[in-house]
A and B are shown apart, each in its own frame.
Chain A
Amino acid sequence: MPESQHSTLPDIEIADLVWQPSGADAPTLDLRGSNIRVAAGETLLISGASGAGKSTLAAAVAGLLGTLLPGTLRGTLRVGGVDLVAAAAEGAAGVPRELLGPLGFVAAGPAPRHALPRLLDDVALPLESRGVSAELLASRAHAAIISAGLPIDAAERDVASLSGGERAQAAAATALVSTPGLVIADEPLAGLDATRAGALAALLMEQRATRVIVTHDVTQFGAATVRLHLDRGRVVELPAVELPTVRAEGQRDVAAQPAGERGVVVLQLFAAASSARGAVGAVSATVHAGELLLVRGETGSGKSTLLALAAGTLSADAGERHVSASRIRYTPQDPGLLLGARSVHQLLPAGEWPRAAEVAAALNVAELLDRPAARCSDGERRRLALVVTAAAEPDLLIADEPTLGLDDEAAARVSALLANLAARGVALLVATHDSRLQMRHARVLQHPDATAQGELLREAPLAERGVELARELLAPAPVKRLLGVSNPLTRFGLAAFWFLLSLISPATALAQGAVALPALIVAWSSGVHLISTLRLAAALAPAIVGMVLANLLGGATPEAAFGAGVRLLAFAAGSLVLLRPFEPLRLADAAMQHLRAPFAPTLTLLASAATLPPLMSEARERRAIRRLAKPGVDPFLLADLFDAAIRAVPRLATALEVRAVRLPSRLQPATALRPSRFGRADLLLILLSAGGLLFSVARVVIETITLGS
């Protein structure tokens, strides 16, 4: 039985558990002397300081340590009777099957934690891999999306286009869609406003499941039965948290000034908007020197967009942006964008190290300045990113959710640092949901405010309208309706067929050229991509000319040289059918449904392909953010791209693993949410190529007969 509703819930037994990731010189989780038992249906609530090992313990209970994530696990860990330490020691390739079946896992954000780009596909994936029938997939996925608090139309959106808070709701929807008997959630409420956080916490608590929840907000989970407080990888008695009282020097002087005279305007945004974040309306804001401007607003209201526009890492294509600040620093919501896998000392010029040490001491991360960010916890990375930006002594510091996922003490330290910076005359623009970040002298901007909400009517620039027109010409709707859209497999097959055909002889290649024209029309009618068409033309034409010339110079006869050129043209005809926008997932669906491609490797490959566009934009965004931090130094984009790609591997592997893509056996073919069909366009393409083949064969036959006679 792949689903867990009728089976008994698992219990959890943890004793003397020690985890040392491979490459680390000390254990990051050390629970020697602790014995924790969670009975079936109970809730284990894990709290503690950032870097205390909370996420590690959650990953351990999910069976990810030593199986998927490399390292050594010792001690006792049994979940539902499955010995996870033994599984790790045997080097099991992934979470044991008995555990994977009933598992629902929410990974810590705000780094991407989805496997497939569209929300509906991603939420349905855990059901697909558990063999739920195709008719039920869509309705159950939609139900999960709505009960997590997202609007129904979010199902069709890209997960990457959702706001930080909405992504938290999406992660919960994916974890709960399979009605798991074991729910493990790592900071599931991070980034949500108070109302939505309460609703999501209630949803998690009403599941019929054994739960492990990591949170800094223990009040939301009052009904939890077992509580654990960690510090530096060890269990500690739950202390009354004593907040450090950090006084901001000179703060009183600043506060004494009336708000209007606080300082010069360092940044002004007026009705700025970006087409890259179409769902967000135009934004306006003014920031003064020495002012702390807190941007608050509902989940998904566009706070992060406002900050990126202010920082200039997102370029505004409408409205105005005036900057008088000479040094702007931006701490993005995902600290990984700024830090990559590097340490603070690697990122900063040596001249800024002393100031970095001061800021780090204030944030209690002084000993981490040399540690690669890849080895730090999420909370530590968040503070290190602040160290990097604050150490540069900027005129304007922009920070997106600087206290997200931090414990109370660390959050208080961040508040104190921000107040201190404002007192020194730094202008601060901070987006937050966190009610702990309340400072007496801060000005609060509710976003979106009444003025920003009005839709701004604007005339599209001429160039934009030209592109729009070209796009319509390239994808005529009536022809598309008549023929339908061709199946990716047909196009793949035709490219192979045409290649083999052109190998037979240059005469065939010429025939192929004749077939290529109508094929282009079919490709065009299903909507070709303007950029790929231009790219192909730009690469092909000179390549053919060069190839013929080089052959002639190399001593080939004109016939042979011309033949080589025609052959290249014939190969490229196969690419004509690929000019439609490339949709990796549709190709995967077709391969799995028609060619019986294996589920797990195909999905792995295609989920990786789907991460390429976000990886490219991540590499570009990282470069923009770093260029702010280090003007003049322009890191090589290629190295950034590979760095982003490799760092995405563990989170993508975890996302695929907890969606149980390994589960389907050969006997149980994967069902599909998106049926793949062959239509009229496919038939036409196949007939055209068959015609080309007949034409070539006829030609060869006629030539033989004429020569023979």
Chain B
Amino acid sequence: MRTWSLMHLVALSVIGITCGALFAGWNLIWGALTPLFALVLPLQYLLLAGTWVIAGPLAGLIIKRRGAALAGELIAASVSFLLASQWSIDALFSGAVQGLGAELVFAIFGYRVWGWPVVIFAGAASGVGMALHDLPLYFAGVDAGYAAALAAAMVVSGALLGGGGALVLHRALRRSGALGVIGA
């Protein structure tokens, strides 16, 4: 198993914190758009929600070590919480289940396989985590069909925006040479 050095610890913190700043901005956009999308909330989840799970797949993909995905998503969620978001400390619990989803997928592949299908799968698993957390808490009373549509939107969005977004950012960082400096 690969060991963690201070360089990886710093890289993890910096990625998590930058994603947290992104989340804080996203919270604001999400809040402002909710009334507009109220009629078709699953659509809003499909178009926007996946960005909230990007930290796990991205941290896992860059650092490639046990625990990176979970810790990355948790750090990002903490920053989102500490910057006073509408979800308050619930952001931490969301972050934990979402990060756990991505972490489980990377663990299933033994932290050895980092191809795009695995990363997309990790994003989708984060979306499953989001569904497990959000549905009972915010949509306890809705019909089964509506709940299924929401869950599907979360998983697809997680795969495309979370997993896919992490892949795009990772490629941009590798191309610009930024990843070379941390030996990743």
Residue numbers of A with Cβ under 8 A of B are 21-23, 67-71, 91, 93-94, 340-343, 372-375, 495-496, 498-499, 532, 535-536, 538-543, 545-547, 549-551, 553-557, 559-561, 563-564, 567-568, 571-575, 578-579, 582, 587, 600-601, 604-605, 607-609, 611-612, 615-616, 638-639, 641-643, 645-650, 652-653, 656-657, 662
Contacts and interface: CB of A to CB of B under 8 A. Distances in A.
Given A340-B176, A536-B86, A556 B6 contact: no
Contacts of A67: 5
Nearest to A374: B177
Given A550-B41, A551-B139, 17 more contacts: A70-B182, A374-B180, A535-B84, A542-B32, A542-B34, A542-B35, A546-B33, A547-B34, A550-B37, A553-B39, A555-B142, A556-B142, A600-B9, A604-B9, A607-B13, A652-B14, A656-B6
Contact of B10 (A535, A604, A638): A604
Interface stretch (B22-30, B95-103, B104-112, B154-162): B22-30
B38 A545 contact: yes
Contacts of A372: 176-177, 180
Interface in B1-50: 3-7, 9-11, 13-18, 21-22, 27-28, 30-39, 41
The 9 A-B residue pairs whose C-beta atoms are closest, nearest first, are A546-B34, A70-B183, A560-B141, A556-B141, A539-B31, A554-B142, A372-B177, A608-B13, A555-B143
A559 B140 CA distance: 11
B181 A650 contact: yes
Given A555-B146, A564-B141, A571-B89, A650 B7 contact: yes
Q: Which of A94, A543, A561, A638 has the largest number of chain B CB atoms within 10 A?
A: A543
A657 B10 CA distance: 11
Contacts of B82: 578, 582, 587
Interface string B105-148: 00000000000000000000000000000000111111100110
A539 B169 contact: no
A704 to B, nearest CB: 22
Given A495-B89, A649-B11, A546 B37 contact: yes
A457 B33 CA distance: 45
A69 B181 CA distance: 8
5 contacts: A341-B178, A604-B6, A612-B79, A643-B172, A646-B173
B5 to A, nearest CB: 4
A638 B178 CA distance: 14
Contacts of A375: 177, 180
Contacts of B52: none
Nearest to A541: B31
A550 B38 contact: yes
A532 B24 CA distance: 11
A343 to B, nearest CB: 8
Chief secondary structure at chain A's binding surface:
helix
A104 B13 CA distance: 25
Nearest to B85: A575
A622 B92 CA distance: 32
A68 B173 contact: no
A93 B88 contact: no
Given A542-B32, A564-B140, A647 B181 contact: yes
Contacts of B139: 550-551, 554, 556, 564
A539 B32 contact: yes
Given A342-B177, A550-B38, A575-B86, A93 B182 contact: no
B84 A579 contact: yes
A652 B7 CA distance: 8
Chief secondary structure at chain B's binding surface:
helix
Given A23-B180, A641-B18, A652-B10, A547 B31 contact: no
A612 B21 contact: yes
Contacts of A549: 35, 38-39
Contacts of B143: 554-555
A21 B181 CA distance: 9
Q: Which of A341, A642, A652 has the largest number of chain B CB atoms within 10 A?
A: A642
B35 A546 contact: yes
Contact of A341 (B138, B169, B176): B176
A612 B18 contact: yes
Contact of A643 (B146, B150, B178): B178
B1 to A, nearest CB: 12
A116 to B, nearest CB: 14
Contacts of B172: 639, 642-643
B21 A499 contact: no
Q: Which of B18, B172, B182 has the largest number of chain A CB atoms within 10 A?
A: B18
Given A546-B37, A608-B17, A650-B7, A560 B177 contact: no
Nearest to A91: B3
Contacts of A642: 15, 18, 169, 172-173, 178
A230 to B, nearest CB: 22
A649 B84 contact: no
B141 A551 contact: yes
A310 B14 CA distance: 33
A498 B88 contact: yes
Given A342-B176, A643-B178, A646-B178, A94 B5 contact: yes
Nearest to B147: A554
Q: Which of A535, A574, A601 has the largest number of chain B CB atoms within 10 A?
A: A535
Given A499-B89, A641-B18, A532 B178 contact: no
A532 B17 contact: no
Contact of A495 (B4, B32, B34, B88): B88
A539 B26 CA distance: 10
Contacts of B84: 532, 535-536, 575, 578-579, 582
Given A70-B183, A653-B10, A574 B176 contact: no
A512 B38 CA distance: 26
Contact of A564 (B88, B138, B176): B138
A639 B180 CA distance: 16
A307 B31 CA distance: 41
B4 A93 contact: yes
A654 to B, nearest CB: 9
Contacts of A650: 7, 181-182
A638 B84 CA distance: 21
Contacts of B21: 612, 616, 641
A487 to B, nearest CB: 14
Contact of A68 (B5, B39, B81, B169): B5
B83 to A, nearest CB: 6
B86 A572 contact: yes
B183 A71 contact: yes
Contacts of B5: 67-68, 93-94
Given A71-B183, A564-B139, A539 B14 contact: no
